[in-house]
Structure 1
């Protein structure tokens, strides 16, 4: 009887511990970022456009949404002219997108790769990849534009793309040794990076294309994410937890 009670108690403790472990290792940070991006898309409207030739359209949008006190450049990051005036735009721009296709381009890699990255690096690692990689990608884009225009150029940019490329880099570093399990994601990630790298080399004379993709921020975000991922590489204990 005593042995049975001890066994039952042990199983109860193991079950409780497993549930606590599972709750602790849920991708909460990934879910939070997804919800914020989608909520902003619905709240601000996906037709938000930061480019300067649409200032009248933007002013009308701001007035309709009772945000008239918020200047355009606070929401989108501009490189490099307005950086010191509205550095916060480097953060808010990561959550604002133009069109549902643009939203899905951010949601897809975050939904399919974010959870895996969070399990490997923890929620802090995922947020570092998103914010440091994203903002670093934007700053890298600014640096390329400064070099191209002798510091006189300016371009409004929005979107979480540089953060997504940083997350892709984290995923590759964490799971490269398990390519048989994640071969499709890894091949897609490397393939997309190759296309982006070729494109940026082809567009070095004009790294930011108006009303199009900011390839400079994509490549910069990936490279910064790669360095961060190698620096924060998961320990053997974390890898075992992910594998289980």
Structure 2
């Protein structure tokens, strides 16, 4: 897996929406139950029970999205002692939940620091150019539409799942798909792990195309141990949605200047 660190693609205006989304995601994570309390992800039983109750209320659940079936018993956030020892207490929900609105709230929830920081890195690098091309308001609408399409696409493929679906990955995958369509030849500095992290400047079509292929492979459970906990199918759906929405904008999109200078320790050829 390559790690992008910067793209050679200047913008003409400040990406206020991109920055606002990053700030909102970080703040929500910090105030989630147990979210920002420990960098190592360690939590007490009370924090875990509170987190489970929080996610049940605010995360998107595929079965709820497709069938509208809300559970009659949910975690209350309290800790009790049962026959098997201490555990979370379950009871009837004391709130009303809208499955449609839960998709919106779930876009700002993350399962850990790596989940959050990885998403925000991709949004920071690629989101500014898509916002610059679309404009602030249209970019925000585009971001939300991709997030909704990704969430419902995943739910359609897993309509009986009751696992909470959280994270901005589907919306950000849409940003990556739009970037691939609009700026395929833009150069992206990446770190490639090979004994050490090698810095390379690669075309966006290669970086993002490789990312998409990995999501497709991982969605089948190949080469990854957490395929059951990461919604790779949502990434694929969001990416394709972003490509489709951005496609009409291709003709009028100015391309970034061809970079010159050093590429991995030697003089780059024209076009590299």
- For each residue in 1:79-103, what CA deviation from the matched residue of structure 2 results, as whole angstroms up to 9, or x when unmatched? 0235644321100111110111010
Matches within 5 A, 1:7-86: 25-44=13-32, 45-46=34-35, 57-61=47-51, 72-81=55-64, 84=68, 85-86=98-99
Name the SS for the 2:164 alignment partner.
strand
Matches within 5 A, 1:139-154: 139-146=152-159, 152-154=160-162
How well do the aligned residues superpose, as a CA RMSD in angstroms? 3.1
Q: Aligned in 2, Cα 1:108/1:234: closer, same or farther, shift over 3 Å?
A: same
The 4+ residue runs of structure 1 with deviation greater than 6 A are none
Matches within 5 A, 1:179-198: 179=186, 183-198=202-217
8 A Cα contact 1:73 1:82, kept in partner: no
Structure 1: gaps (5+ residues): 1-21, 49-53, 63-69, 147-151
User: Residue 229 in 1 paired to residue 246 in 2?
Assistant: yes
Structure number with higher strand proportion: 2
Q: Aligned in 2, Cα 1:112/1:154: closer, same or farther, shift over 3 Å?
A: same
How many Å apart are 1:106 and its aligned residue? 1.1
How many Å apart are 1:235 and its aligned residue? 5.7
Q: TM-score, with normalisation over the residues of structure 1? A: 0.69
- For each residue in 1:98-130, what CA deviation from the matched residue of structure 2 results, as whole angstroms up to 9, or x when unmatched? 111010111011111111111112123321331
Q: Aligned in 2, Cα 1:37/1:71: closer, same or farther, shift over 3 Å?
A: closer
Q: Aligned in 2, Cα 1:198/1:60: closer, same or farther, shift over 3 Å?
A: closer
Question: In the alignment, which residue of structure 2 is the partner of 1:172?
Answer: 180
8 A Cα contact 1:166 1:225, kept in partner: yes
- For each residue in 1:25-61, what CA deviation from the matched residue of structure 2 results, as whole angstroms up to 9, or x when unmatched? 211111111110111122224269xxxxx99755435
8 A Cα contact 1:120 1:239, kept in partner: no
Structure number with higher helix proportion: 1
* Number of aligned positions between the proteins: 195
Matches within 5 A, 1:82-231: 84=68, 85-146=98-159, 152-176=160-184, 178-179=185-186, 183-200=202-219, 202-203=220-221, 209-210=227-228, 212-231=229-248
8 A Cα contact 1:173 1:229, kept in partner: yes
Q: TM-score, with normalisation over the residues of structure 2? A: 0.62
Structure 2: gaps (5+ residues): 1-11, 38-43, 69-97, 189-200, 258-272
Q: Distance in 1 between matches of 2:108 and 2:167?
A: 6
8 A Cα contact 1:166 1:222, kept in partner: yes
How many Å apart are 1:71 and its aligned residue? 5.7
8 A Cα contact 1:130 1:167, kept in partner: yes
